[in-house]
């Protein structure tokens, strides 16, 4: 098999706030012998603007995204909601422009969420053997909205987690109930957003797990922010950090 070529799409939140997630993803792909490219000009896919209704601004960044990533073989991103933006919302943004729409379709088809790429494209099923992953502890998994409902990715992260040596996966109730982040919703309606986060925190704590794992840093940031404010020691980890871990 020829060496896979991956272009890293490190969205703005990971780049500026939680770069360790990007490091972990690089480490995992490196162990699989993937050849990585990182276009240094990348910024954001436009999702915050799109979700708030500012489609002109979103379209501007989306066009830029197409320019930067168009020639990639596969684009991989540690965030379900950004992939959902590129794969689905770009089509809405460019619905009146056949040329851009066509470009968006082609780019969307080769943009993958991290666990989706690992399982569905590279065929990773046993992180212990294939990646040397190890995590000693119990974790619970949060299905973020755009990843699970939007992209239909529920199986892949669970398959990976279940096969990490030392790790016990316990399901929380309503794992696919929204954590209340919703982009600017969390700032515009902070009380509602916090109430939703509290429901999420409650189901996490009820599992007794030491960590909650997800594939979207935005949700994790919201959940972690609330856990930390409530003084909980439960960790919020991106799945890449678990897979890159070699035991504690």
Partner 1 sequence: MQQNSDKTYSELSRDAIGDEDLHAAIRMVQNGMGKGAQAMWRDEITPEHRRLAKEARLRTLNNLDAVLATLAEKIRARGGHVYFAATAEDARNYCLEVARKNNVRLAVKGKSMTSAEIGMDPLLEENGVEVVETDLGEYIIQLAGEAPSHIIAPCIHMNRKRIGKLFQEKLGIPYSEDPPTLTRAARKALREKLLGADMGISGCNIACAETGHVCLVSNEGNIRMCTTMPKVHVALMGMERVTATLAEHDMLLRLLTRGASAQKVSTYVSFMGGPRQPGETDGPEEFHLVIIDNGRMKMLADPRFREVLSCIRCGGCLNICPVYGRIGGHAYNGTYCGPIGAVLMPLLEGVNKHADLCRGESLCGACKDICPVHNDLPRMLSELRYMLAYGDEKWGVEPVDGAEACAFKAWGAAMSSRTAYDLLVKAGRIVQVPFVKNGVLGKGVGPLAKWTASRDFPPIAKKTFAERWKTDHAKRLNGADNE
**List of residues contacting partner 1 (CB under 8 A):** 8, 10, 12, 14-19, 22-23, 26, 30, 35-44, 46, 48-57, 60-61, 64, 92, 145-146, 149-150, 176-178, 180-183, 185-197, 199, 221-222, 224-226, 228-229
Taking the least distance from each CB to partner 1, the nearer of 106 and 229 is: 229
Residue 31's CB: how many other CB atoms inside 10 A? 16
CB of 163: closest distance to partner 1 in angstroms?
A: 26
Among 113, 119, 80, which residue's Cα sits nearest to residue 217? 80
Q: Which is nearer to partner 1, 40 or 98 (CB)?
A: 40
Q: Which two tokens stand for residue 172?
A: 């929380």
Q: Which of 135, 164, 130, 161 is nearest to 31 (CA)?
A: 130
Nearer to partner 1, 51 or 125 (CB): 51
Residue 53 CB: number of other CB atoms within 10 A? 10
Task: Closer to partner 1 by CB, 65 or 112: give it.
Answer: 65
CB of 86 to partner 1, least distance (A): 14
Least separation in angstroms between residue 68's CB and partner 1 is: 10
Tokens 């969390």 identify what position?
186
Backbone dihedral angles phi then psi of residue 14, each to the nearest 5 degrees: -70, -45
Which residue's structure tokens are 């030491």? 210
Among 7, 29, 2, 4, CA closest to 76: 7
Question: Whole-number minimum distance, CB 155 to partner 1, in Å?
Answer: 15
- Minimal distance, residue 135 CB to partner 1, in Å: 22
Stated as kind and residue range, the H or E segment containing 235 is strand 235-238
120 or 199: CB nearest partner 1: 199
């Amino acid at each position: 098999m020829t060496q896979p070529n991956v272009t890293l799409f490190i969205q703005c939140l990971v780049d500026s706030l939680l770069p360790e997630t990007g490091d972990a993803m690089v480490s995992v792909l490196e162990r699989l012998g993937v050849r990585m490219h990182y276009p240094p000009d990348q910024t954001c896919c436009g999702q915050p603007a799109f979700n708030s209704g500012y489609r002109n601004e979103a379209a501007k960044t989306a066009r830029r995204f197409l320019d930067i990533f168009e020639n990639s073989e596969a684009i991989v991103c540690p965030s379900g909601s950004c992939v959902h933006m590129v794969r689905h919302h770009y089509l809405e943004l460019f619905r009146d422009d056949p040329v851009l729409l066509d470009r968006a379709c082609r780019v969307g088809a080769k943009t993958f969420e991290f666990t989706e790429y690992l399982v569905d494209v590279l065929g990773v099923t046993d992180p212990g053997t294939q990646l040397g992953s190890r995590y000693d502890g119990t974790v619970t998994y949060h299905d973020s909205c755009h990843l699970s409902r939007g992209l239909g990715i529920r199986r892949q992260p669970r398959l990976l987690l279940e096969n990490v040596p030392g790790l016990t996966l316990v399901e929380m109730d309503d794992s696919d109930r929204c954590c209340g982040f919703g982009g600017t919703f969390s700032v515009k309606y902070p009380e509602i957003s916090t109430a939703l986060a509290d429901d999420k925190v409650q189901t996490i704590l009820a599992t007794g797990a030491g960590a909650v794992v997800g594939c979207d840093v935005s949700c994790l940031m919201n959940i972690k922010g609330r856990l930390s404010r409530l003084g909980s020691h439960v960790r919020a980890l991106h799945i890449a950090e678990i897979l890159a871990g070699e035991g504690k």
